[in-house]
Amino acid sequence: MRRALALAVTPGVPLGPNPRVGCVLLARDGTTIAEGFHRGAGSAHAEVDALAAAGEAVRGATAVVTLEPCNHTGRTGPCTEALVAAGVRRVVFAQSDANPVARGGADRLREAGIEVEGGVMADESRAVNRVWSFAVEHQRPFVTWKFATTLDGRSAASDGTSRWVSSRAARLDTHRLRGLCDTMLVGTATVEVDDPELTVRDEVDEPVATQPLRAVMGLRDLPTDRRIFNDRAETVHLRTRDPQEALASLRARDRQHVFLEGGPTLARAFLGAGLVDEVVAYVAPMLLGAGTSAVADLGIGTIADALHLHVSDVTVLQGHDGEDTNVRLTMTPTHDHRSS
């Protein structure tokens, strides 16, 4: 199973919209017959990829796969039927398939007389497809809110300037994180005032095969000369102020991971709706004492009602001169605030 998990995360495999899956076919004596992995939507699933490499040697084999074999016909046929037809004796899988369209593969295999064992290294498999699993189970995209702030919680000075609140190292890191998402989301005010391009660039380790979708949320019409409307990536205008409606619209477009980069008002809307699943904060070692807050008023009047966050990672991002430094905090809300 560890080998199958390694195959699932083969470099170059897309992060979505399909899950990343690996498969190893074993002979009765435990030796490897063949391996396979899923290379993205429309390509052969991991099991079928491995079966094609195995040929007739697969009869009586054990298939070890990181996700329960699918039991439906989409762009490709059901993996369950391919395993049955190939004469596989036993199937061991890690994570159960939560997709209501595709699940049921284990039962179908058992009906065909195949021995089935599930749950082997399920947590590790879920970690490989963390965002996909969340999106399937909650029927909405996973939301990462990213912001840059001074030590006193300011995202811009009183005169509106915000340049250099985040360091160059932090900006490079932000582009790396953008490349892990399939949607960039901002509000209309951010487009009007900041005119961002919202693409992945700035010397990321590997150029992204497909730029994230650029989504703008809000009712106002926008000038067509804004950089977000250039031809470097697709853009959609979500004419709503409702975060749940916006996420539903993005889910209908098969989007799974939203990178929320809007201003304090948009952040408040998503936090207030319980629709932030991860927080990435870049903290600069500076003080302003006044200016724009990183998030607008959440209506919290007492410390007892504070929104607490669990810190999962702290990373110091330091420039070559040793002075261009930010601290990246990765956090998740500690209480069950998230809405479906």
Asked if residue 199 belongs to a known ligand binding site, the reply is no
At residue 311, what are phi and psi to the nearest 5 degrees? -85, 120
Helix (H, G, I), strand (E, B) or coil at 234: coil
Give the Cα separation of 22 and 42 in Å (integer): 16
Q: How is residue 6 written in tokens?
A: 């390694």
Asked if residue 181 belongs to a known ligand binding site, the reply is no
Give the Cα separation of 58 and 33 in Å (integer): 7
Asked if residue 201 belongs to a known ligand binding site, the reply is yes
For residue 219, with 0-12 CB atoms within 10 Å meaning exposed, 13-18 middle and 19 or more buried, which class applies? exposed
Asked if residue 257 belongs to a known ligand binding site, the reply is no
Asked if residue 194 belongs to a known ligand binding site, the reply is yes
Asked if residue 69 belongs to a known ligand binding site, the reply is no
Q: Could you give the strand order of the β-sheet that contains 235-238, starting from the edge strand earlier in sequence?
A: 235-238, 213-217, 183-187, 257-260, 142-150, 278-284, 325-333, 309-318
Where helices occur in 273-324 by DSSP H, the ranges are none
Please, what's the largest Cα pairwise distance for the chain? 72
Angle between helices 46-54 and 79-86 (to 10 degrees): 20
Asked if residue 140 belongs to a known ligand binding site, the reply is no
Helix (H, G, I), strand (E, B) or coil at 149: strand
| Cβ atoms < 10 Å from Cβ of 163 | 7
Are 93 and 66 contacting, i.e. CB atoms less than 8 angstroms apart?
A: yes
Catalytic residue IDs: 47
Asked if residue 56 belongs to a known ligand binding site, the reply is no
Asked if residue 52 belongs to a known ligand binding site, the reply is no
Asked if residue 149 belongs to a known ligand binding site, the reply is no
Asked if residue 171 belongs to a known ligand binding site, the reply is no
Asked if residue 265 belongs to a known ligand binding site, the reply is yes
Asked if residue 246 belongs to a known ligand binding site, the reply is no
Asked if residue 89 belongs to a known ligand binding site, the reply is no
Asked if residue 203 belongs to a known ligand binding site, the reply is no
Asked if residue 27 belongs to a known ligand binding site, the reply is no
Q: How is residue 324 written in tokens?
A: 């261009």
Torsional sign, CA 68, 71, 76, 81: positive
Binding site members for substrate: 162, 178, 198, 201, 261
Binding site members for Zn(2+): 45, 70, 79
Binding site members: 45, 70, 79, 148, 162, 164, 178, 190, 194, 198, 201, 261, 263-269
Binding site members for NADP(+): 148, 164, 190, 194, 263-269
